[in-house]
Structure 1
Amino acid sequence: MVQPLSVQLYTVRDALAADRDGVLRRIAELGYGAVEPYDPMTDPKGFRQVADDLGLTVSSTHAYALLSREPAEVFEAIATVGTDLVIIPGGIAEEEFTTRDGLARVADRLNGLAVHAAAHGMRLGYHNHWWEIEPRIDGRHALEVLADLLEPEVFLEVDTYWAAVGGADVPALLRGLADRVLALHVKDGPGVRGEPHTAVGDGVMPVPAILAAAPGAWRIVELDTCAGDVFEALAGSRSYLSSLGVS
Protein backbone atom coordinates (compact mmCIF):
# COMPACT_ATOMS: atom_id res chain seq x y z
CA MET A 1 0.00 0.00 0.00
CA VAL A 2 1.25 3.48 -0.86
CA GLN A 3 1.60 5.55 2.29
CA PRO A 4 -0.14 8.92 2.03
CA LEU A 5 1.74 12.09 2.87
CA SER A 6 1.26 12.98 6.53
CA VAL A 7 1.37 16.14 8.66
CA GLN A 8 2.67 16.32 12.23
CA LEU A 9 -0.13 18.22 13.93
CA TYR A 10 2.28 20.16 16.15
CA THR A 11 2.72 22.26 13.00
CA VAL A 12 -0.81 23.64 13.44
CA ARG A 13 -1.03 23.40 17.23
CA ASP A 14 -2.46 26.88 17.82
CA ALA A 15 -5.17 26.57 15.17
CA LEU A 16 -5.88 23.01 16.28
CA ALA A 17 -6.55 24.13 19.84
CA ALA A 18 -9.13 26.62 18.56
CA ASP A 19 -10.87 24.43 15.96
CA ARG A 20 -9.67 20.84 15.72
CA ASP A 21 -12.29 19.65 13.26
CA GLY A 22 -11.84 22.63 10.96
CA VAL A 23 -8.06 22.24 10.94
CA LEU A 24 -8.24 18.55 10.11
CA ARG A 25 -10.67 19.35 7.30
CA ARG A 26 -8.32 21.98 5.93
CA ILE A 27 -5.39 19.55 6.00
CA ALA A 28 -7.44 17.03 4.04
CA GLU A 29 -8.46 19.72 1.55
CA LEU A 30 -4.77 20.52 0.97
CA GLY A 31 -4.35 16.97 -0.28
CA TYR A 32 -2.73 15.31 2.71
CA GLY A 33 -3.94 11.80 3.38
CA ALA A 34 -2.62 11.28 6.88
CA VAL A 35 -1.83 13.03 10.14
CA GLU A 36 0.47 12.40 13.09
CA PRO A 37 -1.00 13.58 16.42
CA TYR A 38 1.24 14.87 19.19
CA ASP A 39 -1.26 14.30 22.01
CA PRO A 40 -3.37 11.17 21.58
CA MET A 41 -4.78 11.51 25.09
CA THR A 42 -7.11 14.42 24.25
CA ASP A 43 -10.48 13.09 23.06
CA PRO A 44 -9.13 10.11 21.11
CA LYS A 45 -12.60 8.87 20.21
CA GLY A 46 -13.68 12.23 18.81
CA PHE A 47 -10.39 12.64 16.96
CA ARG A 48 -10.75 9.22 15.34
CA GLN A 49 -14.30 9.96 14.24
CA VAL A 50 -13.32 13.21 12.51
CA ALA A 51 -10.26 11.64 10.89
CA ASP A 52 -12.35 8.75 9.59
CA ASP A 53 -15.01 11.09 8.25
CA LEU A 54 -12.33 13.03 6.35
CA GLY A 55 -10.56 9.92 5.06
CA LEU A 56 -7.40 10.73 7.01
CA THR A 57 -5.11 7.89 8.06
CA VAL A 58 -3.21 8.22 11.35
CA SER A 59 0.34 7.46 10.27
CA SER A 60 1.75 7.33 13.81
CA THR A 61 1.52 9.32 17.01
CA HIS A 62 3.87 11.01 19.41
CA ALA A 63 3.25 10.03 23.02
CA TYR A 64 5.02 12.06 25.69
CA ALA A 65 2.43 10.63 28.07
CA LEU A 66 4.26 7.29 28.13
CA LEU A 67 6.99 8.93 30.20
CA SER A 68 4.62 9.98 32.97
CA ARG A 69 1.37 7.97 32.86
CA GLU A 70 0.31 4.38 33.17
CA PRO A 71 1.28 2.71 29.86
CA ALA A 72 -1.95 0.75 29.51
CA GLU A 73 -3.99 3.96 29.66
CA VAL A 74 -1.84 5.57 26.98
CA PHE A 75 -1.89 2.58 24.65
CA GLU A 76 -5.66 2.32 24.98
CA ALA A 77 -6.00 5.93 23.78
CA ILE A 78 -3.57 5.29 20.92
CA ALA A 79 -5.53 2.23 19.81
CA THR A 80 -8.63 4.42 19.69
CA VAL A 81 -6.82 7.08 17.66
CA GLY A 82 -5.95 4.36 15.19
CA THR A 83 -2.25 3.63 14.74
CA ASP A 84 0.25 1.01 15.83
CA LEU A 85 3.36 3.23 15.60
CA VAL A 86 4.01 5.03 18.89
CA ILE A 87 6.87 7.52 19.18
CA ILE A 88 8.70 9.03 22.13
CA PRO A 89 9.46 12.55 20.83
CA GLY A 90 11.68 13.81 23.66
CA GLY A 91 11.44 14.16 27.41
CA ILE A 92 14.77 12.43 28.08
CA ALA A 93 17.62 14.55 29.44
CA GLU A 94 19.94 15.76 26.68
CA GLU A 95 22.98 14.83 28.79
CA GLU A 96 22.08 11.17 28.44
CA PHE A 97 23.07 11.33 24.78
CA THR A 98 26.62 12.49 25.50
CA THR A 99 28.05 9.25 26.95
CA ARG A 100 27.81 5.54 26.21
CA ASP A 101 26.49 4.88 29.73
CA GLY A 102 23.79 7.50 29.20
CA LEU A 103 22.80 5.93 25.90
CA ALA A 104 22.57 2.54 27.60
CA ARG A 105 20.10 4.02 30.09
CA VAL A 106 18.06 5.55 27.27
CA ALA A 107 18.02 2.23 25.44
CA ASP A 108 16.90 0.36 28.56
CA ARG A 109 14.01 2.78 28.99
CA LEU A 110 12.91 2.57 25.37
CA ASN A 111 13.30 -1.20 25.26
CA GLY A 112 11.13 -1.49 28.36
CA LEU A 113 8.40 0.66 26.85
CA ALA A 114 8.63 -1.40 23.67
CA VAL A 115 7.61 -4.48 25.66
CA HIS A 116 4.45 -2.69 26.78
CA ALA A 117 3.81 -1.57 23.20
CA ALA A 118 4.16 -5.11 21.87
CA ALA A 119 1.61 -6.34 24.42
CA HIS A 120 -0.86 -3.95 22.78
CA GLY A 121 0.07 -4.94 19.22
CA MET A 122 2.13 -1.79 18.65
CA ARG A 123 5.72 -0.77 17.98
CA LEU A 124 7.63 1.89 19.86
CA GLY A 125 9.90 4.43 18.18
CA TYR A 126 12.12 7.37 19.06
CA HIS A 127 12.24 10.80 17.41
CA ASN A 128 15.51 12.75 17.36
CA HIS A 129 16.46 16.40 17.69
CA TRP A 130 19.91 17.93 17.23
CA TRP A 131 21.16 16.82 20.65
CA GLU A 132 21.11 13.13 19.68
CA ILE A 133 23.23 13.96 16.63
CA GLU A 134 25.84 16.49 17.80
CA PRO A 135 27.56 14.23 20.36
CA ARG A 136 29.92 11.75 18.80
CA ILE A 137 31.00 8.55 20.47
CA ASP A 138 33.88 6.69 18.86
CA GLY A 139 33.36 8.82 15.76
CA ARG A 140 29.66 8.03 15.40
CA HIS A 141 26.60 10.17 16.05
CA ALA A 142 24.96 9.35 19.38
CA LEU A 143 21.78 8.31 17.56
CA GLU A 144 23.71 5.68 15.63
CA VAL A 145 25.17 4.26 18.85
CA LEU A 146 21.72 4.27 20.45
CA ALA A 147 20.32 2.33 17.49
CA ASP A 148 22.80 -0.46 18.17
CA LEU A 149 21.58 -0.69 21.78
CA LEU A 150 17.89 -0.85 20.95
CA GLU A 151 15.97 -4.07 20.51
CA PRO A 152 15.21 -4.80 16.83
CA GLU A 153 11.53 -3.95 17.19
CA VAL A 154 12.26 -0.37 18.32
CA PHE A 155 12.24 1.93 15.32
CA LEU A 156 13.39 5.47 14.61
CA GLU A 157 11.52 8.46 13.28
CA VAL A 158 14.36 10.58 11.94
CA ASP A 159 13.80 14.32 12.00
CA THR A 160 15.85 15.08 8.93
CA TYR A 161 16.11 18.82 9.58
CA TRP A 162 17.37 18.51 13.14
CA ALA A 163 19.75 15.79 12.04
CA ALA A 164 21.26 18.25 9.55
CA VAL A 165 21.42 21.02 12.16
CA GLY A 166 23.21 18.55 14.44
CA GLY A 167 25.91 18.02 11.82
CA ALA A 168 24.84 14.85 10.05
CA ASP A 169 25.06 14.03 6.38
CA VAL A 170 21.40 13.11 6.44
CA PRO A 171 21.22 10.76 3.42
CA ALA A 172 24.29 8.90 4.69
CA LEU A 173 22.79 8.70 8.19
CA LEU A 174 19.58 7.25 6.81
CA ARG A 175 21.39 4.71 4.68
CA GLY A 176 23.37 3.60 7.72
CA LEU A 177 20.29 3.23 9.90
CA ALA A 178 18.51 1.44 7.04
CA ASP A 179 15.43 -0.57 8.03
CA ARG A 180 15.47 0.89 11.54
CA VAL A 181 13.90 4.05 10.06
CA LEU A 182 10.13 3.72 9.64
CA ALA A 183 9.27 7.43 9.48
CA LEU A 184 10.83 10.73 8.45
CA HIS A 185 10.02 14.23 9.52
CA VAL A 186 10.44 16.09 6.26
CA LYS A 187 11.03 19.75 6.91
CA ASP A 188 13.05 22.60 5.47
CA GLY A 189 14.50 25.96 6.34
CA PRO A 190 17.81 27.81 6.64
CA GLY A 191 19.46 25.00 8.60
CA VAL A 192 20.11 27.27 11.56
CA ARG A 193 18.83 26.62 15.05
CA GLY A 194 16.36 29.25 16.22
CA GLU A 195 15.32 30.40 12.73
CA PRO A 196 11.80 29.72 11.44
CA HIS A 197 11.17 26.86 9.06
CA THR A 198 9.96 27.16 5.48
CA ALA A 199 7.80 25.14 3.16
CA VAL A 200 9.57 21.97 2.09
CA GLY A 201 11.54 22.80 -1.04
CA ASP A 202 12.15 26.44 -0.08
CA GLY A 203 15.13 25.88 2.20
CA VAL A 204 18.58 24.31 2.16
CA MET A 205 17.68 20.65 2.74
CA PRO A 206 18.58 18.10 0.01
CA VAL A 207 15.08 16.69 0.04
CA PRO A 208 15.27 14.39 -3.02
CA ALA A 209 18.43 12.72 -1.71
CA ILE A 210 16.89 12.33 1.74
CA LEU A 211 13.76 10.67 0.41
CA ALA A 212 15.80 8.37 -1.80
CA ALA A 213 17.83 7.23 1.21
CA ALA A 214 14.74 5.97 3.07
CA PRO A 215 12.32 4.89 0.35
CA GLY A 216 9.99 2.89 2.58
CA ALA A 217 9.58 5.37 5.44
CA TRP A 218 6.48 7.43 6.13
CA ARG A 219 6.89 11.02 4.91
CA ILE A 220 5.60 13.38 7.58
CA VAL A 221 5.75 17.14 7.00
CA GLU A 222 6.42 19.36 10.00
CA LEU A 223 7.19 23.01 10.62
CA ASP A 224 8.14 23.70 14.23
CA THR A 225 7.80 27.42 13.55
CA CYS A 226 6.84 29.41 10.48
CA ALA A 227 7.46 33.06 9.59
CA GLY A 228 4.40 33.24 7.32
CA ASP A 229 1.04 31.51 7.07
CA VAL A 230 1.50 27.92 8.16
CA PHE A 231 -1.26 26.59 5.91
CA GLU A 232 0.37 28.23 2.89
CA ALA A 233 3.61 26.53 3.89
CA LEU A 234 1.81 23.20 4.15
CA ALA A 235 0.27 23.76 0.72
CA GLY A 236 3.68 24.60 -0.74
CA SER A 237 5.22 21.54 0.88
CA ARG A 238 2.49 19.33 -0.55
CA SER A 239 2.98 20.78 -4.03
CA TYR A 240 6.76 20.35 -3.93
CA LEU A 241 6.64 16.81 -2.60
CA SER A 242 4.03 15.89 -5.19
CA SER A 243 6.45 17.09 -7.87
CA LEU A 244 8.91 14.52 -6.48
CA GLY A 245 6.35 11.73 -6.76
CA VAL A 246 5.28 11.65 -3.11
CA SER A 247 1.57 10.82 -2.91
Structure 2
Amino acid sequence: MPLPTASVQLYSLAEQFAQDMPGSLEKLAAIGLRHVEAFDFVGQAEIRAALDASGLASPTGHAPLLSDELWTPDGAIPTPAPEVVFEAAATIGMQTVIDPFVDPARWLTADGVADIAERLNRAADVAATFGLSVGYHNHAQEFIASFDGASAYQRFVELTEDRVLLELNLFWALTGGQDVPDLVASLGDRLVAVHVKDGIVPTSNPWAPGAPAFGSDSLDQRRAGEGEVPLADALAAGTAVEYAVIEYDRAPGDVFDDIAASYAFLREGGYVA
Protein backbone atom coordinates (compact mmCIF):
# COMPACT_ATOMS: atom_id res chain seq x y z
CA MET A 1 0.00 0.00 0.00
CA PRO A 2 1.32 3.49 -0.80
CA LEU A 3 1.95 5.54 2.31
CA PRO A 4 -0.81 7.93 3.39
CA THR A 5 -0.51 11.67 2.97
CA ALA A 6 -0.46 13.84 6.09
CA SER A 7 -3.35 16.22 6.69
CA VAL A 8 -4.71 18.23 9.59
CA GLN A 9 -8.27 18.69 10.78
CA LEU A 10 -8.92 22.43 10.87
CA TYR A 11 -11.08 22.04 13.98
CA SER A 12 -7.74 21.72 15.79
CA LEU A 13 -7.12 25.43 15.20
CA ALA A 14 -10.70 26.64 15.03
CA GLU A 15 -10.02 29.84 16.99
CA GLN A 16 -6.92 30.76 15.00
CA PHE A 17 -8.61 29.87 11.70
CA ALA A 18 -11.62 32.04 12.51
CA GLN A 19 -9.39 34.99 13.38
CA ASP A 20 -6.96 34.71 10.47
CA MET A 21 -7.82 32.14 7.81
CA PRO A 22 -5.03 32.99 5.31
CA GLY A 23 -2.40 33.31 8.01
CA SER A 24 -3.36 30.02 9.67
CA LEU A 25 -3.18 28.15 6.37
CA GLU A 26 0.18 29.74 5.56
CA LYS A 27 1.54 28.50 8.90
CA LEU A 28 0.38 24.97 8.11
CA ALA A 29 2.00 25.14 4.70
CA ALA A 30 5.23 26.39 6.30
CA ILE A 31 5.23 23.28 8.52
CA GLY A 32 5.28 21.23 5.34
CA LEU A 33 1.68 20.12 5.13
CA ARG A 34 -0.08 20.09 1.78
CA HIS A 35 -3.53 18.91 2.83
CA VAL A 36 -6.12 19.92 5.39
CA GLU A 37 -9.53 18.61 6.39
CA ALA A 38 -12.06 21.44 6.43
CA PHE A 39 -14.65 21.85 9.18
CA ASP A 40 -17.80 24.02 9.25
CA PHE A 41 -17.07 25.13 5.68
CA VAL A 42 -20.58 25.80 4.38
CA GLY A 43 -21.08 29.48 3.68
CA GLN A 44 -17.35 30.21 3.71
CA ALA A 45 -16.62 30.55 0.00
CA GLU A 46 -13.38 32.36 0.84
CA ILE A 47 -11.85 29.07 2.00
CA ARG A 48 -11.07 27.99 -1.56
CA ALA A 49 -9.15 31.17 -2.34
CA ALA A 50 -7.22 30.95 0.93
CA LEU A 51 -6.35 27.30 0.25
CA ASP A 52 -5.18 28.09 -3.25
CA ALA A 53 -3.07 31.00 -2.03
CA SER A 54 -1.30 28.81 0.53
CA GLY A 55 -0.83 25.86 -1.82
CA LEU A 56 -3.06 23.63 0.30
CA ALA A 57 -5.96 21.38 -0.69
CA SER A 58 -8.86 19.91 1.29
CA PRO A 59 -9.64 16.52 -0.26
CA THR A 60 -11.74 15.56 2.76
CA GLY A 61 -13.99 17.66 4.97
CA HIS A 62 -16.31 17.28 7.92
CA ALA A 63 -19.95 18.26 7.69
CA PRO A 64 -23.13 16.85 9.25
CA LEU A 65 -25.24 14.75 6.89
CA LEU A 66 -27.31 12.76 9.38
CA SER A 67 -28.37 15.21 12.07
CA ASP A 68 -30.32 18.43 12.44
CA GLU A 69 -27.42 19.95 14.35
CA LEU A 70 -23.79 19.02 14.79
CA TRP A 71 -22.55 18.45 18.33
CA THR A 72 -19.07 19.59 19.27
CA PRO A 73 -17.51 19.53 22.75
CA ASP A 74 -17.96 23.29 22.80
CA GLY A 75 -21.46 23.73 21.43
CA ALA A 76 -23.86 22.68 18.69
CA ILE A 77 -23.87 23.97 15.11
CA PRO A 78 -27.10 24.00 13.02
CA THR A 79 -26.84 21.85 9.91
CA PRO A 80 -27.67 22.77 6.31
CA ALA A 81 -29.32 20.47 3.79
CA PRO A 82 -27.03 17.83 2.22
CA GLU A 83 -27.29 19.48 -1.19
CA VAL A 84 -25.98 22.73 0.29
CA VAL A 85 -23.12 20.85 1.94
CA PHE A 86 -22.15 19.05 -1.25
CA GLU A 87 -22.27 22.20 -3.36
CA ALA A 88 -19.94 23.96 -0.91
CA ALA A 89 -17.65 20.92 -0.78
CA ALA A 90 -17.41 20.76 -4.57
CA THR A 91 -16.57 24.46 -4.71
CA ILE A 92 -13.71 23.94 -2.27
CA GLY A 93 -12.45 20.99 -4.30
CA MET A 94 -13.21 18.15 -1.91
CA GLN A 95 -13.52 14.53 -2.86
CA THR A 96 -15.18 13.10 0.26
CA VAL A 97 -17.57 14.68 2.77
CA ILE A 98 -17.44 12.92 6.13
CA ASP A 99 -20.14 13.06 8.80
CA PRO A 100 -18.25 13.63 12.06
CA PHE A 101 -20.78 12.84 14.80
CA VAL A 102 -24.15 11.18 15.38
CA ASP A 103 -25.93 11.50 18.72
CA PRO A 104 -24.99 8.65 21.10
CA ALA A 105 -28.63 7.67 21.77
CA ARG A 106 -29.08 6.72 18.13
CA TRP A 107 -26.33 4.10 18.44
CA LEU A 108 -27.96 2.21 21.31
CA THR A 109 -30.61 0.29 19.35
CA ALA A 110 -30.48 -1.90 16.26
CA ASP A 111 -33.16 0.23 14.61
CA GLY A 112 -31.18 3.38 15.32
CA VAL A 113 -28.04 1.96 13.75
CA ALA A 114 -30.00 0.74 10.72
CA ASP A 115 -31.48 4.21 10.27
CA ILE A 116 -28.04 5.86 10.41
CA ALA A 117 -26.71 3.43 7.81
CA GLU A 118 -29.68 3.88 5.48
CA ARG A 119 -29.46 7.68 5.68
CA LEU A 120 -25.79 7.61 4.79
CA ASN A 121 -26.41 5.20 1.91
CA ARG A 122 -28.97 7.64 0.53
CA ALA A 123 -26.66 10.60 1.13
CA ALA A 124 -24.16 8.81 -1.07
CA ASP A 125 -26.71 8.96 -3.91
CA VAL A 126 -26.99 12.73 -3.59
CA ALA A 127 -23.24 13.20 -3.20
CA ALA A 128 -22.62 11.29 -6.42
CA THR A 129 -24.57 13.91 -8.38
CA PHE A 130 -21.91 16.42 -7.28
CA GLY A 131 -19.03 14.06 -8.10
CA LEU A 132 -18.40 13.39 -4.40
CA SER A 133 -18.33 10.45 -2.01
CA VAL A 134 -19.40 10.34 1.63
CA GLY A 135 -17.91 8.84 4.76
CA TYR A 136 -18.33 8.53 8.52
CA HIS A 137 -15.99 9.51 11.35
CA ASN A 138 -16.40 7.81 14.73
CA HIS A 139 -16.07 8.90 18.30
CA ALA A 140 -16.60 6.37 21.12
CA GLN A 141 -20.40 6.12 21.32
CA GLU A 142 -20.45 3.66 18.41
CA PHE A 143 -18.83 1.01 20.62
CA ILE A 144 -21.23 1.05 23.60
CA ALA A 145 -24.00 -1.22 22.36
CA SER A 146 -23.62 -4.62 20.73
CA PHE A 147 -26.01 -6.80 18.77
CA ASP A 148 -25.42 -10.55 18.43
CA GLY A 149 -21.80 -10.06 19.40
CA ALA A 150 -21.15 -7.20 16.98
CA SER A 151 -20.65 -3.61 18.13
CA ALA A 152 -22.99 -0.94 16.85
CA TYR A 153 -20.08 0.30 14.74
CA GLN A 154 -19.54 -3.12 13.19
CA ARG A 155 -23.25 -3.40 12.43
CA PHE A 156 -23.15 0.04 10.82
CA VAL A 157 -20.24 -1.02 8.62
CA GLU A 158 -22.16 -4.13 7.55
CA LEU A 159 -25.28 -2.12 6.69
CA THR A 160 -23.61 0.64 4.72
CA GLU A 161 -22.72 0.15 1.09
CA ASP A 162 -19.07 -0.29 0.10
CA ARG A 163 -19.07 3.15 -1.53
CA VAL A 164 -19.62 4.71 1.93
CA LEU A 165 -16.08 5.35 3.12
CA LEU A 166 -14.71 5.29 6.64
CA GLU A 167 -12.45 7.56 8.66
CA LEU A 168 -11.36 6.02 11.95
CA ASN A 169 -10.47 8.24 14.88
CA LEU A 170 -7.83 6.10 16.56
CA PHE A 171 -8.02 7.86 19.93
CA TRP A 172 -11.79 7.48 20.20
CA ALA A 173 -11.73 3.88 19.01
CA LEU A 174 -9.32 3.08 21.84
CA THR A 175 -11.54 4.99 24.27
CA GLY A 176 -14.37 2.74 23.06
CA GLY A 177 -12.41 -0.31 24.17
CA GLN A 178 -11.28 -1.46 20.73
CA ASP A 179 -8.12 -3.26 19.69
CA VAL A 180 -7.28 -0.44 17.33
CA PRO A 181 -4.86 -2.18 14.91
CA ASP A 182 -7.26 -5.13 14.59
CA LEU A 183 -10.15 -2.77 13.93
CA VAL A 184 -8.15 -0.92 11.27
CA ALA A 185 -7.32 -4.20 9.55
CA SER A 186 -10.94 -5.38 9.67
CA LEU A 187 -12.18 -2.28 7.82
CA GLY A 188 -10.10 -3.10 4.76
CA ASP A 189 -10.16 -0.85 1.73
CA ARG A 190 -13.15 1.19 2.93
CA LEU A 191 -10.92 2.84 5.52
CA VAL A 192 -9.45 5.75 3.56
CA ALA A 193 -8.47 8.07 6.42
CA VAL A 194 -7.50 7.92 10.08
CA HIS A 195 -7.35 10.63 12.71
CA VAL A 196 -3.94 10.69 14.31
CA LYS A 197 -4.86 11.83 17.78
CA ASP A 198 -2.94 10.80 20.90
CA GLY A 199 -3.24 11.27 24.61
CA ILE A 200 -4.21 9.60 27.85
CA VAL A 201 -7.43 7.74 27.14
CA PRO A 202 -10.39 8.48 29.47
CA THR A 203 -10.94 5.75 32.03
CA SER A 204 -14.56 5.35 30.93
CA ASN A 205 -16.49 6.03 27.77
CA PRO A 206 -17.70 9.65 28.07
CA TRP A 207 -20.77 8.92 25.94
CA ALA A 208 -21.99 5.90 27.89
CA PRO A 209 -25.46 6.33 29.44
CA GLY A 210 -25.16 8.15 32.76
CA ALA A 211 -21.63 9.45 32.10
CA PRO A 212 -20.84 12.97 33.37
CA ALA A 213 -21.13 15.89 30.97
CA PHE A 214 -18.16 15.93 28.63
CA GLY A 215 -16.11 18.80 27.20
CA SER A 216 -12.83 19.06 25.33
CA ASP A 217 -11.18 20.76 28.33
CA SER A 218 -11.34 17.43 30.18
CA LEU A 219 -9.11 15.64 27.66
CA ASP A 220 -5.44 14.98 28.33
CA GLN A 221 -4.17 15.16 24.77
CA ARG A 222 -0.56 14.70 23.76
CA ARG A 223 1.53 15.09 20.66
CA ALA A 224 1.49 12.05 18.39
CA GLY A 225 3.65 9.28 19.80
CA GLU A 226 3.54 10.63 23.36
CA GLY A 227 0.25 9.09 24.52
CA GLU A 228 -1.42 5.71 24.81
CA VAL A 229 -2.77 5.26 21.28
CA PRO A 230 -0.92 2.57 19.25
CA LEU A 231 -0.51 4.90 16.29
CA ALA A 232 2.36 3.07 14.58
CA ASP A 233 0.68 -0.34 14.68
CA ALA A 234 -2.65 1.13 13.60
CA LEU A 235 -1.15 2.92 10.61
CA ALA A 236 0.71 -0.23 9.61
CA ALA A 237 -2.54 -2.24 9.69
CA GLY A 238 -4.31 -0.15 7.04
CA THR A 239 -4.65 -1.44 3.49
CA ALA A 240 -5.94 1.66 1.68
CA VAL A 241 -5.50 4.63 4.02
CA GLU A 242 -4.97 7.76 1.93
CA TYR A 243 -4.86 10.41 4.66
CA ALA A 244 -3.36 10.48 8.14
CA VAL A 245 -5.18 13.45 9.64
CA ILE A 246 -3.58 15.16 12.64
CA GLU A 247 -6.14 16.39 15.15
CA TYR A 248 -6.35 17.95 18.58
CA ASP A 249 -9.62 18.69 20.35
CA ARG A 250 -7.48 20.68 22.77
CA ALA A 251 -3.82 21.13 21.89
CA PRO A 252 -1.49 20.77 24.89
CA GLY A 253 0.51 23.88 23.93
CA ASP A 254 0.81 26.16 20.94
CA VAL A 255 -1.38 24.46 18.36
CA PHE A 256 0.98 25.08 15.43
CA ASP A 257 3.96 23.71 17.39
CA ASP A 258 1.88 20.69 18.39
CA ILE A 259 0.77 20.06 14.81
CA ALA A 260 4.39 20.36 13.66
CA ALA A 261 5.47 17.82 16.30
CA SER A 262 2.80 15.33 15.23
CA TYR A 263 3.73 15.83 11.59
CA ALA A 264 7.38 15.17 12.48
CA PHE A 265 6.33 11.94 14.22
CA LEU A 266 4.52 10.79 11.08
CA ARG A 267 7.27 11.84 8.69
CA GLU A 268 10.28 10.67 10.68
CA GLY A 269 8.62 7.36 11.48
CA GLY A 270 8.02 6.71 7.82
CA TYR A 271 4.25 6.59 8.28
CA VAL A 272 3.40 9.19 5.62
CA ALA A 273 4.75 9.93 2.18
TM class by shorter-chain length?
A: over 0.9
Q: Equivalences for 1:42-191 in 2 at 5 Å?
A: 42-44=43-45, 46-64=46-64, 67=67, 68-90=79-101, 92-191=102-201
Q: Which amino acid aligns with 2:35?
A: A
Question: 1:223 aligned to 2:248?
Answer: yes
- Which whole-Å CA distance do the structure 2 matches of 1:132 and 1:66 have between them? 15
TM-superposed CA distance for 1:66, in Å, is 6.7
Range moving further from structure 2, 103-112 or 58-67: 58-67
TM-superposed CA distance for 1:53, in Å, is 2.1
The residue aligned with 1:204 is: 228
Question: 1:241 aligned to 2:252?
Answer: no
Runs of 5+ unmatched residues, structure 1:
none
- Which whole-Å CA distance do the structure 2 matches of 1:145 and 1:232 have between them? 39
- Which whole-Å CA distance do the structure 1 matches of 2:122 and 2:66 have between them? 11
- Residues 9 and 37, structure 1, Cα contact 8 Å, conserved in 2: yes
TM-superposed CA distance for 1:209, in Å, is 0.4
Q: CA RMSD in A?
A: 1.6
Cα 1:66–1:17, aligned 2, differ >3 Å: closer, same or farther?
farther
Q: TM-score, normalised by structure 2?
A: 0.85
- Which whole-Å CA distance do the structure 2 matches of 1:66 and 1:18 have between them? 29
Cα 1:13–1:86, aligned 2, differ >3 Å: closer, same or farther?
same
**Which structure has the highest strand share of the two?**
2
- Residues 144 and 177, structure 1, Cα contact 8 Å, conserved in 2: no
Cα 1:65–1:177, aligned 2, differ >3 Å: closer, same or farther?
closer
Equivalent residue pairs, number: 245
TM-superposed CA distance for 1:119, in Å, is 1.3
- Which whole-Å CA distance do the structure 1 matches of 2:177 and 2:144 have between them? 6
Cα 1:141–1:202, aligned 2, differ >3 Å: closer, same or farther?
same
- Which whole-Å CA distance do the structure 2 matches of 1:59 and 1:84 have between them? 5
TM-superposed CA distance for 1:215, in Å, is 4.2
Task: Find the residue that maps to 2:36 and give its secondary structure.
Answer: strand
Task: Find the residue that maps to 2:200 and give its secondary structure.
Answer: coil
Output one character per residue of 1:138-164: Cα deviation in whole Å (capped at 9) or x when no partner. Answer: 222211110000012111111110000
Q: Which amino acid aligns with 1:56?
A: L
Runs of 5+ unmatched residues, structure 2:
68-78, 207-217
Q: TM-score, normalised by structure 1?
A: 0.93
Task: Find the residue that maps to 1:235 and give its secondary structure.
Answer: helix
- Which whole-Å CA distance do the structure 1 matches of 2:150 and 2:177 have between them? 11
The residue aligned with 1:21 is: 22
The residue aligned with 2:74 is: none
- Which whole-Å CA distance do the structure 2 matches of 1:235 and 1:183 have between them? 19
Question: 1:213 aligned to 2:237?
Answer: yes
TM-superposed CA distance for 1:65, in Å, is 6.4
Range moving further from structure 2, 109-118 or 194-203: 194-203
TM-superposed CA distance for 1:208, in Å, is 1.0
TM-superposed CA distance for 1:3, in Å, is 4.9
